[in-house]
Amino acid sequence: MERTLAIIKPDGVARGLVGEIIGRLEREGISIIAMKMIWMTKGQAKAFYKVHAGKPFYEGLTGFMCSGPCVVMVLEGKEVIDTYRELMGATDFKEAAKGTIRHDYATDIEKNVVHGSDGPRSAAFEIAYFFNELEILKR
């Protein structure tokens, strides 16, 4: 079993896509083992996205991530990191496969509706960034 961090970003929450995105996870058979709503400060967004520090989109991305509430979730399943990234679609929504979240809903590469960890190391860092062990279901 693997875990990954998923975020419904401020554009997804503001546009009323929370139910739609969670429905897609449930229909895929992915287990949600932790979930909450947060509104990050700029400092929290910058530390979360520190791997992108120095890139041209870092300021815009972190400003956007603290512009409104997000839903953060821990997902669990077999190969869930890749399965969820497939559900999200490519970073550039114009290249995202039909039927993916970004293909269907993204309007701007800086926003992108959803976030997902890109590997086991980033998943471990990102889950611990938002959740302590008491907040994650054990089954």
- The residues that are catalytic are 115
- Closer of 33 and 61 to ligand IDP (Cβ): 61
Minimum separation from the CB atom of position 118 to Mg ion (A): 5
Rounded to 10 deg, the angle between the 80-88 and 18-27 helix axes is: 130
**Paired strand residues for 7:** 72, 115
Minimum separation from the CB atom of position 57 to ligand IDP (A): 3
- Closer of 39 and 57 to ligand IDP (Cβ): 57
| Residues 63/66/71/75 CA torsion (nearest 10 deg) | 60
Are the C-beta atoms of residues 75 and 6 closer than 8 Å to each other? Answer: yes
Site for ligand IDP in 59-118 (CB under 6 A): 61, 91, 109-110, 112, 115, 118
Cα 59 from Cα 105, distance rounded (Å):
23
Residues that bind ligand IDP (CB under 6 A): 57, 61, 91, 109-110, 112, 115, 118
